Amino acid sequence: MLLRFSHLQLNSTDRDAMRKAGKFNAQLMDFLRPHVREGVDTGSINKLVHEYTLDHCHCPATLNYHGFPKSCCTSVNEVICHGIPGDYILKSGDIVNVDITSIVDGWFGDQSETFLIGEVSDDARGVTQCALDCLYLGIDSLQPNGRVSDIGDAIVREAQRLGYSVVREYVGHGLGTQFHQDPSIPHYPNRQARSERIPPGICFTIEPMINVGTRQTVLDKSDQWTVRTRDGKHSAQFEHTVLMTEQGPEILTTTKDGPFRGHKF
């Protein structure tokens, strides 16, 4: 079991390539952050992501990925993930997750943040806080050769404590020269995750999606991308790319401006 992911263990050159990809992606998030505010439409956020990435001679990974039409995902309020940027104008009270993924010299960086727009409800703020805390609790649960299920155990414990639910259909993933590869990183414990361990050199994302109400999801019938909560209540998410090292987890997508571990919304 320990060797299941040995073919994905990165050497020091490859680790540096992933560090570079994560660093660029984080720099893009820092550039974007001040633009995500009331009155801005999600299509303009996409345009900023697209142009900044091309200006730096890198590639937006989501564009044309299995037919996805844009260079980032923008998921507003009850949208859990994979929202397609368009003409929706952000208004006070909204929460929006912006998920950006870049390809830098063939290597991927992937991260997302949920932004509070103007004055938001207690539920919207609470679920956003919980999603950020769950991301860091997941990261802090990691140790070299530790179990994948340690992540889900930590996340479910925190979500349950606050009466929120954890999405199951969409999971974190291995990341390297491909967008979605092994290992699968569920944000809840299951039998497979209990049997799998993460050795040094493995790169992956943690990206918990936390719901105010039910964990059940609905895929949009017309666009076949947008994933919503079944009950229409809010959902929030944060994502980092993480490299397991001999010393423990290293976050590759740390931004200059945060939000960092322990941030209070």
What is residue 161's three-state secondary structure? helix
H or E element in which residue 113 lies: strand 107-116
Strand partners, 96: 76, 115
CA angle, 176 as apex, 158 and 157 as ends, to 5°?
A: 5
User: By rule CB under 5 A, what string of x and - marks binding of each residue 100-139 to Co ion?
Assistant: ----------x-x---------------------------
Please tell me the distance from the alpha carbon of residue 44 to that of residue 50, in angstroms, as a whole number.
Answer: 10
Residue that has been written with the tokens 């349950």 in this structure:
160
Please tell me the distance from the alpha carbon of residue 134 to that of residue 41, in angstroms, as a whole number.
Answer: 28
Query: Looking at 18-26, 35-43, 62-70, 190-198, which segment touches ligand MF3 (CB under 6 A)?
Result: 62-70
Cα 8 to Cα 5, 104, 167, 180: the distances in Å are 5, 18, 26, 12
**For Co ion, which is the closer residue by CB, 143 or 184?**
184
The reply to whether 25 sits near ligand MF3 by the rule CB under 6 A is no
The reply to whether 94 sits near ligand MF3 by the rule CB under 6 A is no
Determine phi and psi for 37, rounding to 5 degrees.
-155, 175
Q: How many residues contact ligand MF3, by CB under 6 A? A: 13
The correct pick among 22, 29, 79, 99 for binding ligand MF3 (CB under 6 A) is 99
Contact positions with ligand MF3 (CB under 6 A) in 170-209? 205, 207
Residue that has been written with the tokens 């998030």 in this structure:
29
CA angle, 48 as apex, 139 and 19 as ends, to 5°?
A: 35
Contact positions with Co ion (CB under 5 A) in 160-219? 205
**For ligand MF3, which is the closer residue by CB, 62 or 255?**
62
Query: Looking at 41-49, 58-66, 143-151, 247-255, which segment touches ligand MF3 (CB under 6 A)?
Result: 58-66
H or E element in which residue 14 lies: helix 12-32
Closest approach of Cβ 182 to ligand MF3, in Å? Answer: 14
Query: Looking at 51-59, 65-73, 146-154, 254-262, which segment touches ligand MF3 (CB under 6 A)?
Result: 65-73
The reply to whether 31 sits near ligand MF3 by the rule CB under 6 A is no
Closest approach of Cβ 49 to Co ion, in Å? Answer: 12
Please state whether beta strands 217-219 and 172-174 pair in parallel, antiparallel, or not at all (unpaired): unpaired
H or E element in which residue 192 lies: helix 191-195
Q: How many residues contact Co ion, by CB under 5 A? A: 5
The correct pick among 9, 59, 68, 178 for binding ligand MF3 (CB under 6 A) is 68
H or E element in which residue 251 lies: strand 248-251
Contact positions with Co ion (CB under 5 A) in 21-40? none
Interhelix angle for 12-32 vs 42-55, to 10°? 140
Residue ranges binding ligand MF3 (CB under 6 A)? 62, 65-66, 68, 73, 82, 99, 101, 110, 205, 207, 225, 239
Residue ranges binding Co ion (CB under 5 A)? 99, 110, 112, 205, 239
